[in-house]
């Protein structure tokens, strides 16, 4: 039998490769990676395909899996013997509300808010920030609760922590677990009550925000005080906010206040990226019995009413509280546990909603060639 020498390989149909790659839909945007402009290059050469895709949000935990699925899709096309697919992330700046000027060194600002206190807003904010950092983003946290700052404690920074001062006018944010943190607690004694009127509080917020030398952040998470008062109004009028995350519990009273929060952000043209429902279900540590102590399905109803995503439904867990109190929130204390996985999924959903808003602002250069 004569060896098969000189028999030409089947020519690869580039459009067929594109169609095959377009079959995969990003689970966080719901779009294929071709039409959404994520493909940066596509090359076909002698039976091989090489392509690069860039996601517009931090998603390091899933890029390898996406690349493998795209590789399988490409290698299913006639004539393709091997495919090399690279998927990476590149967070872009999304537009903010109105004519508010953007901030240097901060791409996107996310307000984490609640209509009332006691719903786990700060715990959500800190775990969201840590989850985004774990997905590969550069993240900072601003503790905007001037009266009751808690971020230093939650992130394990010791009492008496003070920011360095650069050029006699900028604070250098302390870091904890890989994220930058700024809080009023770093500027005053822990036992000193902040007996300030609204204008002083608003001024303190702006000083913390604008006089901190943030180091090229992809996302700045702002942990808001509860309610719809002076801090919220200052944020809406003077700070370029990309979007807001509303935290609630399933009970009717919390939902009533959460609705006010949603309406407030809508009135000031700040998009609500989604709703997080805390304390959704309690699992008895002794017998495993599940109970909806604060009601059932409230977060889902709120999300449906305002046509936004239900980003996560978190259990009522003693572990979440204990780990936050100890200075090692769940995402860093037990990064592979089920609750941490929910926070990671939440982080990718929030990033994807922001990427959707940024997508219309910048169109990538695409290189396609047949060699």
The confidence score (pLDDT) of residue 218 equals 98
173 pLDDT above the threshold of 70 = yes
The confidence score (pLDDT) of residue 362 equals 41
Of 296 and 153, the one with more pLDDT:
153
The whole-angstrom separation of Cα 81 and Cα 119 is 54
The whole-angstrom separation of Cα 42 and Cα 34 is 11
List, for residues 246-276, the tens digit of each pLDDT value: 998 887 777 888 888 899 999 989 999 999 9
Mean pLDDT along residues 329-343: 95
Using CA atoms, how far residue 251 sits from 227, 313, 315, 320, 339, in Å, is 16, 13, 14, 20, 21
The whole-angstrom separation of Cα 195 and Cα 73 is 62
| Ranges of CATH 3.30.300.130 domains, the chain | 14-90
pLDDT band at 39 (very low <50, low <70, confident <90, very high): very high
Expressed in angstroms, the distance from the first to the final Cα of the chain is 32
305 pLDDT above the threshold of 90 = no
Give me the residues paired with residue 197 across strands. none
The confidence score (pLDDT) of residue 360 equals 47
Mean pLDDT along residues 172-196: 84
Query: 155 and 176 in contact (C-beta within 8 Å)?
Result: yes
Of 116 and 282, the one with more pLDDT:
116
pLDDT band at 166 (very low <50, low <70, confident <90, very high): very high
Of 8 and 134, the one with more pLDDT:
134
The confidence score (pLDDT) of residue 64 equals 96
List, for residues 192-245, the tens digit of each pLDDT value: 666 667 678 888 899 999 999 999 999 999 999 888 788 888 888 899 999 999
Render 241-301 in DSSP notation, one character per residue. --EEEEEE-SSHHHHHHHHHHHHHHHHTT--EEEEEE-S--EE-TTT--EE-TT-SSHHHH
* Domain 106-351 in CATH 3.40.50.300: yes
Instruction: Write out the CATH class of domain 14-90.
Output: alpha beta
Query: In terms of C-beta density within 10 A (0-12 exposed, 13-18 middle, 19 or more buried), how is residue 190 classed?
Result: exposed
The confidence score (pLDDT) of residue 365 equals 45
- Mean of per-residue pLDDT scores for the chain: 87
pLDDT band at 111 (very low <50, low <70, confident <90, very high): very high
Q: Which pair of tokens denotes residue 306?
A: 């305002």
Q: Measured in whole angstroms, how far is the alpha carbon of residue 356 from the centre of its chain? A: 13
The confidence score (pLDDT) of residue 364 equals 44
Q: Which pair of tokens denotes residue 200?
A: 């002083």
pLDDT band at 363 (very low <50, low <70, confident <90, very high): very low
| Ranges of CATH 3.40.50.300 domains, the chain | 106-351
The whole-angstrom separation of Cα 287 and Cα 299 is 26
Mean pLDDT along residues 12-22: 93
pLDDT band at 46 (very low <50, low <70, confident <90, very high): confident
pTM above 0.85, yes or no: yes
The confidence score (pLDDT) of residue 85 equals 96
């Amino acid at each position: 039998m004569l060896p098969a020498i000189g028999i030409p390989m089947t020519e690869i149909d580039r459009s067929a490769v594109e169609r095959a790659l377009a079959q995969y839909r990003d689970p966080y945007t719901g779009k294929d990676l071709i039409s959404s402009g994520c493909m940066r290059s596509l090359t076909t050469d002698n039976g091989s395909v090489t392509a690069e895709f860039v996601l517009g949000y931090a998603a390091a935990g899933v890029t390898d899996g996406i690349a493998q699925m795209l590789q399988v899709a490409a290698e299913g096309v006639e004539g393709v013997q091997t495919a090399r697919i690279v998927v990476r992330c590149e967070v872009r700046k999304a537009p903010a509300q109105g004519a508010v000027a953007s901030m240097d060194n901060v791409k996107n600002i996310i307000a984490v808010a609640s209509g009332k206190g006691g719903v786990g807003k700060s715990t959500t904010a800190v775990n969201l920030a840590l989850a985004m950092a774990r997905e590969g983003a550069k993240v900072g946290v601003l503790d905007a609760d001037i009266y009751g700052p808690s971020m230093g404690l939650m992130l394990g920074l010791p009492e008496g922590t003070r920011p360095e001062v650069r050029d006699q006018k900028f604070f250098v944010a302390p870091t904890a677990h890989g994220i930058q943190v700024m809080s009023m607690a770093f500027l005053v004694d822990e036992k000193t009550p902040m007996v300030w009127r609204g204008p002083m509080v608003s001024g303190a917020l702006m000083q913390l925000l604008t006089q901190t030398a943030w180091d090229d952040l992809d996302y700045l998470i702002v942990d808001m005080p509860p309610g719809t008062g002076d801090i919220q109004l200052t944020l809406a009028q003077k700070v370029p906010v990309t979007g807001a995350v509303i935290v609630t519990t399933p009970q009717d009273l919390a939902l009533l206040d959460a609705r006010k929060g949603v309406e407030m952000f809508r009135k000031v043209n700040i998009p609500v990226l989604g709703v997080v429902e805390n304390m959704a279900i309690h699992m008895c540590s002794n017998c495993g019995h599940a109970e909806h102590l604060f009601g059932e399905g409230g977060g889902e109803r709120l999300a449906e009413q305002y046509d936004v995503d239900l980003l996560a439904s978190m259990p009522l867990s003693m572990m979440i509280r204990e780990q936050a109190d100890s200075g090692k929130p769940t995402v860093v204390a037990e990064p592979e546990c089920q609750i941490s996985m929910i926070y990671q999924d939440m982080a990718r959903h929030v990033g994807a909603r922001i990427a959707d808003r940024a997508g219309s602002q910048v169109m990538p250069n695409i290189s396609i060639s047949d060699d």
